[in-house]
A and B are shown apart, each in its own frame.
Chain A
Amino acid sequence: MNFEKLKEELPEKIAEKIKEVSRKYKLDENKKNKLVEKVKDIYEKSKYEPGEAIGVVTAQSISEPATQMTMRTYHVAGAAEIKVTLGLPRLIEIFDARRQPSTPMMKIHLKKDYNTREKAKEIANKIRELKVEDVVKSSVVDILNNQIEFFLDTELLEKYDVTPEEISKKIKEAFKINIRTSKSKITVKLREGEEIKELHKMKTKVLSLNIRGIKGIRQTIVRREGDEWVILTLGSNLKKILEVEGVDTTRTVSNDIHETARVLGIEAVRNLIIEEVTKTLEEQGLDVIPRHITLVADMMTVDGIVKPIGRYGVAGAKGSVLARANFEETIKHLTQAALAGEVDTLESSIENVMINQVVPMGTGVVELVFSPKKGKK
């Protein structure tokens, strides 16, 4: 029995399993051949046949379990309360390829040398975004003196380990304006003759100014997972995080599909979609064969960009006018097709159902061509 040859005919893992089993039970050549034949038979039968409507099967295989999902479920990750969108809302979010997931999250793995509680905490502290508004108790716009006063919360200053001087320095660098600093108050003075509207604008600008950390990371939690420490973050900024020292750049992931597309590319997105969907379904105790999820992920990424399933994505890009009109926005598609003089070649299933023809599916895909020989009757 030649296993190298077997690998060409069967998937790698299955060929390896055969090898493993035949060694374990000490099968002789005859029995081995029988085993291979049986496995090949089962493998061939498990494959889709040409003409099988895999899209429809996939749609049903994912949708039916999805109806069993609880509508609004939140899961608390660890003891430290990060609320993550899960269940049906998350599933819809993935398939719709939303620009921003409702709870962007990252799981940061650390390199070996940094894998201690202290170092993880240190990194978590460093990357967490700190804005001016996080340490400001209240702020007042003083129209008479043309200035804005920010009252700092001294307790929070201590907690986050920043001084008023640091903050005012940052503000000065960012806006190049006059600042007076005291222990619990920062006064920003604007130039004479500035309008009141400008004062209010400046106030919001200063409040949302980043003091330190990585933009978008709103909360960090250090958690032990197996035999290593990981950092969970609320908010996502994959590119910046991967540049932080001590972060394991091979395993750190974000749940933001578009961000992953920008940083790691389309193939990574395909893997991420499969992972996230499987995870979401599994958490609800649902079991869907990977082939369906893989097909959806493939459809969403064939063109090199992430396309949502639905009107603006996969379904909206169908070639046939009737198929598009059948899905959503019937009138829009029909009028546009009429104006543009589109032709429907009736190649897919739904348009043939509509006009009562044989659907190109299963045995319907086969067409007979008969060319009679000349000269014979």
Chain B
Amino acid sequence: MAGFNILKHRLVPEHVILSEEEKKKLLEKYNIDEKQLPKILVRDPVVKAIGAKPGDVIKIIRKNELVGEVVYYRLVVKE
């Protein structure tokens, strides 16, 4: 996608791909299976832009006006 960078758009929060180790730690912390995480599709434009693959967990850092930074996680899935 030439011309503009969607990652800089006001509505798009910061997306970071977690490493295997971080992913394991996260699942352990909440005592859950990765399937229980919220999902994000592989064809999502942001996933394409940062180059994540199915099975990756993406850490999303949302900026909230009231409380500041809020961290959210999504699992990359095929359809």
Contacts and interface: CB of A to CB of B under 8 A. Distances in A.
Interface of A: 11-14, 16, 242-243, 249-251, 253, 260, 262-268, 271-272, 275, 290, 298, 301-305
Given A242-B4, A290-B66, A251 B39 contact: no
B9 interface: yes
In terms of DSSP, what is the predominant structure of the interface of chain B? mixed
27 contacts: A13-B66, A14-B67, A14-B68, A16-B68, A242-B3, A242-B4, A249-B3, A249-B9, A253-B10, A253-B11, A262-B45, A263-B45, A265-B44, A265-B46, A265-B47, A266-B40, A266-B74, A267-B15, A268-B12, A271-B11, A271-B13, A275-B11, A290-B66, A303-B38, A303-B39, A304-B41, A304-B77
A262 B15 CA distance: 17
B11 to A, nearest CB: 4
Given A11-B67, A16-B68, A304-B44, A264 B12 contact: yes
Interface residues of B, number: 28
Contacts, number: 84
Contact of B68 (A11, A251, A272): A11
Given A265-B6, A267-B60, A13 B68 contact: yes
A-B CB proximity, top 4 nearest: A12-B68, A11-B67, A249-B4, A265-B46
Interface of B: 3-6, 8-13, 15, 38-41, 44-47, 60, 62, 64, 66-69, 74, 77
A242 B60 CA distance: 24
A267 B46 contact: yes
